[in-house]
Amino acid sequence: SQQGEEDPQALSIQEGENATMNCSYKTSINNLQWYRQNSGRGLVHLILIRSNEREKHSGRLRVTLDTSKKSSSLLITASRAADTASYFCATPPGGGADGLTFGKGTHLIIQP
Amino acid sequence: EAQVTQNPRYLITVTGKKLTVTCSQNMNHEYMSWYRQDPGLGLRQIYYSMNVEVTDKGDVPEGYKVSRKEKRNFPLILESPSPNQTSLYFCASSLWSGQAQETQYFGPGTRLLVL
């Protein structure tokens, strides 16, 4: 099954700065989804971007999708301590019902 | 409130003692699935269900069973748990677009320790 891979694996920034995380995948997709996970807790959906979309915003979050490069990025602007979490991209397999394939995530630390 | 609930949240058991982790969603979602999360391995799908009485294997189904008798419930059954099933388990549900899963809603997780 295809796989999303996040980059970097870990990121530490100061509060107020912007954080950018990247995701690459291997095959064609129907949509790409970003999730956040606070330590040991359930995943929370952030944004779903469809294959025919190039950019999507939600509050301080901005997601871009480049299907020609098979990559996506998640930008968090004006970061806050509460943004400290792991962030995952996930893709459902094209044309199939198999589960979302998750990358191993980017662990983001926001330092006050 | 739209949600996915799982029970129990924490469970310590011994090898071979059958257990069931329940999962329930109140969003009338067709698609439900179980994942396990392990350090260094990320989230991996165990089983999924596209509707009542329709289930299929995910990436790591060995040692697990599921059933989908009602749309809202999707229990995960470990008939004879082993220590390698010690993990953090998540249930999730979503709409099915006909082509792919839409936004997945995750339960809070069940932390299982098998001694």
* Partner-chain residue, chosen from B41, B48, B96, that has the shortest CB–CB distance to A99: B48
Contacts of B25 in chain A (CB under 8 A): none
**B47 vs chain A: nearest CA distance in angstroms?**
8
The amino acid at A67: T
Q: Report the SS3 class of residue B79.
A: coil
DSSP string, A3-69: --EEE-SEEEEETTS-EEEEEE-SS-BSEEEEEEE-TTS-EEEEEEEETT-SEEEETTEEEEEETTT
Tokens describing residue B31: 């698609």
Tell me the residues of chain B between 51 and 70 that have a Cβ less than 8 Å away from chain A: 56, 58-59
> Phi and psi dihedrals of B52, rounded to 5?
-55, 135
B44-74 per-position pLDDT tens digit: 999 999 899 999 999 899 999 999 999 999 9
pLDDT, residue A97, reads: 61
Per-residue pLDDT of chain A (112 residues; tens, 9 = 90+): 446 688 899 999 999 999 999 999 888 888 899 999 998 788 999 999 999 999 999 999 999 999 999 999 999 999 999 999 999 999 886 655 667 788 889 999 999 8
